[in-house]
Structures are given as structure tokens and as C-alpha cells.
């Protein structure tokens, strides 16, 4: 592959990523898919339809990713989630921060992007502040604190931290076969839980949950297969085109929000190029905007009270710091990461759920106190 063909392939990867993001944005806008909403509905109202929708998305992504592993297209060890170094403190602490913050900011990262597309200026503020906080946690002040603080608490594993790799090391069995067995087995168990109640068989639950899971799988396939070039013409090394870390990736929105600011602020710097994550993020906004316009649900909305602004600012700050510290958000760890069966993703997702529940209790206490 020569330089011209490489450029064409890169542009195709970005265009396809934008398209998958647009599909996700339209689907989330149509079905009200939101992990924070799923947690709050279950905790406050006893309504589990969106929780089952989230679990369905995890199940489909889990099955799909491990089918790709069995086919030899990707492995968890190639992703950011399958590293041999387990950040056993950073994952849950970052998850707690993100979970608490997303409640204050009225939505997870995906919901924030969907609301931006729907005309919500409050969510635009959240996106910008989250991106700034994420940038600081990647390269700035909070990055130093993270690196010299939480990230020092690690466990070095003999192999990747995904369950198939760990079991393969212990049992002496091939990773692809274990991945296929675990992926199908756990995926079916989750599907069974979704289907066991009538609310899990609703059309909108399956449209949102299965649709999101399939899109996660599609982005895994795009980044691991179509974007992969065995030998870059300049470096003669394998490369995953347009990816931020030169590795397969799927949906995640905290670090890409920092990447968006980096790209826009340093646009004239020719060394800055558009990444797959940023293209997907912009696609989600565009897809949600188109869907909201077609459904006549586009509405401009802004802050009406100072306290509301303060809550969203603090929430966005916690989301940016927590999302980078945990190596992902409700989508990055709570769906994409869980599809790899990574221990770190389990810790981060547990932290996000606990953080969200803590924030909901805080809001109830504030409401009682104000009353």
C-alpha cells in the first residue's frame, strides 16, 4: 500500500466511523438509550426497562466481540482494556468520579452528545468542560496527580487482564476458544435476564439495546480489520489507521472530547490529524441532530438557575477527570470494555454505578434539605 492508498483508506475509516457514530446518535435519540437513565430509573422508580436495554447492549457486544476474537480479527490484548497492568485503584475511583459527575450533569457522555444534537446548550457546556478536564487529566495538572497518585497502585499480571487470557494461562487452553465459550455463555445468561420480564421484550428495549450492541461490534470490526495495515509504507510497522493509540477501539467519549478540543485548538498544526474517536463523537451529534429535527423534537434549552449551572460544571469536571482515570465512560468501559471481559472494565463499571447511586442519594438529600 502506497502513501496515496494509505490516505484514501484513512479517509474511508474516518467516514465510516462518522457514519457509525451518526447511527448511534439517531438510535439513542429515538430510543432514549442512556446508562445514567437506566440506573436512576431502577433506583428511584423501580422501572428496569432501560436497565435491561443497557444489559442487552452489553450482551450483544459481548457475543459480537468474542466472535471477532474467535475469527482472529482482534484480541482483547490488542485493546486498551486488555493490558497486563491492572490499575486496581484508578479504575474504581475514576468510575466513582464519573458516575457521580454524570448525575450532576444530567446524563452520561452519550446522552450529553445526543442532547447537544437536540439543541441543549447545557449539554454543550458539559461537553466543553468535560473535554477540558479530560485534556488536563491526559496531559496537564490532573495528569500529574493521576500518574503519581492513583496509577501507582497496580497489579502486574502474567498475561492480559481479560478473562479468556487469564483462564488460558491457568488452564493451558487456546484464548480464541475460551473467548468464544465465555462470550456466548455469558451473553446468553444476560439475554435470559433481559427476556425473563415482559418489559425486557418491548420493541424499544430491543431496538436500543441490540442496536447499540451491534454498532459497538461494527466499530470493533472497523478499527481492527478495515483500519489495519500490516506494513506502513514509511515505518514498515503494522498500524491501525486513524486510531488514537494505534490499537483497535470502539465507542468511548471522554478522551475523544479532549481530542476534539486538541484538534480544533491546534487545527493549523499539520501534525494534528482527525482521529477515529473524534469522528465518531461528531457523528453522534450529527445523527442525534438529524433525528431530533425529523421527529420535530429539536429544542433550544439553557440554564435557568445558578445552582443548575454550578451542578453541571462540577459534574462535567468530574466526568472528564473520572473518565480518563477509569480509562473510559459508561460506553467506553460499561459496554465496549465489558465486551472484552476485562477485569478493569468490571471495576470501572462497578465504580460508575456506585458513584451514580451516591449522587442520586445526594440529590434526594438536597431536595429534602431545601424542602
Q: Tell me whether residue 9 is exposed, middle or buried, using C-beta atoms within 10 angstroms of its C-beta: 0 to 12, 13 to 18, 19 or more.
A: middle
Q: How far apart are CA 137 and CA 116, in angstroms?
A: 23
197 closest CA partner among 77, 324, 327, 42 = 42
Go through 47-74 and write b for each residue having 16 or more CB atoms within 10 A of its CB, e for each that does not: ebbbbbbbbbbbbbbbbbbbbbbbeeeb
The pLDDT assigned to 102 comes to: 97
DSSP string, 231-245: S-TTT-S-EETT-SS
Helices (H), the chain: 3-31, 35-40, 49-70, 90-104, 109-117, 121-139, 141-148, 163-171, 175-195, 203-221, 254-265, 276-294, 306-325, 343-370
Q: What is the 3-state secondary structure (H, E, C) of 6-73?
A: HHHHHHHHHHHHHHHHHHHHHHHHHHCCCHHHHHHHHHHHCCCHHHHHHHHHHHHHHHHHHHHHHCCC
Here the cell at position 40 is 436512576
Pair 319, 111: CB distance under 8 Å: no
Three-state secondary structure call for residue 330: coil
The pLDDT assigned to 371 comes to: 59
DSSP-assigned letter for residue 159: S
The pLDDT assigned to 206 comes to: 95
CA dihedral sign, ordered 116, 108, 209, 61 = positive
The pLDDT assigned to 232 comes to: 83
Q: How far apart are CA 287 and CA 290, in angstroms?
A: 5
- Our measurement of the distance from residue 216's CA atom to the centroid of its chain's CA atoms, rounded to an integer in Å, reads 9
- Our measurement of the distance from residue 9's CA atom to the centroid of its chain's CA atoms, rounded to an integer in Å, reads 25
The pLDDT tens digits along the chain (371 residues) read 788 889 999 999 999 999 999 999 999 999 999 999 999 999 999 999 999 999 999 999 999 999 999 999 999 999 999 999 999 999 999 999 999 999 999 999 999 999 999 999 999 999 999 999 999 999 999 999 999 999 999 999 999 999 999 999 989 899 999 999 999 999 999 999 999 989 999 999 999 999 999 999 999 999 999 999 998 888 879 999 999 889 999 999 999 999 999 999 998 888 888 999 999 999 999 999 999 999 999 999 999 899 999 999 999 999 999 999 999 999 999 999 999 999 999 999 999 999 999 999 999 998 887 75
The pLDDT assigned to 75 comes to: 94
Q: How far apart are CA 227 and CA 84, in angstroms?
A: 24
Which residues are CB-contacts of 302 (< 8 A; sequence separation ≥ 6)?
121, 122
Q: How far apart are CA 57 and CA 61, in angstroms?
A: 6
Pair 231, 83: CB distance under 8 Å: no
112 closest CA partner among 125, 100, 99 = 125
The pLDDT assigned to 288 comes to: 98
The pLDDT assigned to 175 comes to: 95
Q: How far apart are CA 127 and CA 124, in angstroms?
A: 5
Amino acid at each position: 500500500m502506497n502513501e496515496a492508498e494509505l490516505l484514501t483508506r484513512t479517509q474511508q475509516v474516518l467516514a465510516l466511523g462518522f457514519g457509525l457514530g451518526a447511527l448511534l446518535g439517531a438510535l439513542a435519540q429515538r430510543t432514549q438509550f442512556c446508562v445514567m437513565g437506566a440506573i436512576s430509573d431502577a433506583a428511584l422508580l423501580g422501572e428496569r426497562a432501560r436497565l435491561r436495554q443497557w444489559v442487552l447492549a452489553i450482551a450483544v457486544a459481548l457475543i459480537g466481540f468474542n466472535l471477532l476474537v474467535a475469527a482472529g480479527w482482534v484480541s482483547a490484548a490488542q485493546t486498551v482494556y486488555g493490558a497486563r497492568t491492572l490499575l486496581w485503584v484508578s479504575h474504581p475511583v475514576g468510575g466513582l468520579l464519573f458516575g457521580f459527575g454524570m448525575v450532576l450533569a444530567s446524563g452520561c457522555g452519550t446522552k450529553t452528545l445526543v442532547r447537544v444534537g437536540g439543541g441543549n446548550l447545557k449539554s454543550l457546556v458539559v461537553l466543553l468542560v468535560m473535554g477540558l478536564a479530560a485534556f488536563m487529566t491526559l496531559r496537564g495538572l490532573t495528569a500529574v496527580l493521576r500518574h503519581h497518585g492513583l496509577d501507582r497502585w497496580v497489579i502486574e499480571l502474567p498475561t492480559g487482564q481479560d478473562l479468556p487470557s487469564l483462564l488460558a494461562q491457568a488452564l493451558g487452553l487456546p484464548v480464541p476458544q475460551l473467548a468464544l465459550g465465555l462470550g456466548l455463555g455469558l451473553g446468553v445468561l444476560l439475554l435470559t435476564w433481559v427476556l425473563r420480564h415482559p418489559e425486557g421484550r418491548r420493541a424499544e428495549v430491543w431496538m436500543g439495546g441490540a442496536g447499540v450492541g451491534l454498532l459497538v461490534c461494527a466499530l470493533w470490526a472497523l478499527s481492527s480489520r478495515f483500519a489495519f495495515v500490516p506494513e506502513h509504507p514509511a515505518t514498515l510497522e503494522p498500524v491501525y489507521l486513524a486510531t488514537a493509540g494505534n490499537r483497535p477501539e470502539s465507542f468511548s467519549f471522554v478522551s475523544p472530547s479532549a481530542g476534539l478540543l486538541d484538534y480544533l485548538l491546534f487545527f493549523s498544526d499539520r501534525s494534528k490529524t482527525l482521529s477515529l474517536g473524534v469522528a465518531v463523537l461528531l457523528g453522534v451529534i450529527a445523527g442525534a441532530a438529524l433525528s431530533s429535527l425529523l421527529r420535530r423534537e429539536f429544542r433550544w434549552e439553557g440554564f435557568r438557575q445558578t445552582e443548575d449551572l454550578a451542578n453541571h460544571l462540577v459534574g462535567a469536571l468530574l466526568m472528564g477527570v473520572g473518565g480518563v482515570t477509569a480509562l473510559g465512560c459508561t460506553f467506553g468501559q460499561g459496554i465496549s470494555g465489558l465486551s472484552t471481559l476485562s477485569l478493569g472494565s468490571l471495576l470501572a463499571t462497578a465504580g460508575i454505578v456506585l458513584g451514580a447511586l451516591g449522587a442520586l442519594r445526594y440529590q434526594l438529600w438536597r431536595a429534602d434539605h431545601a424542602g
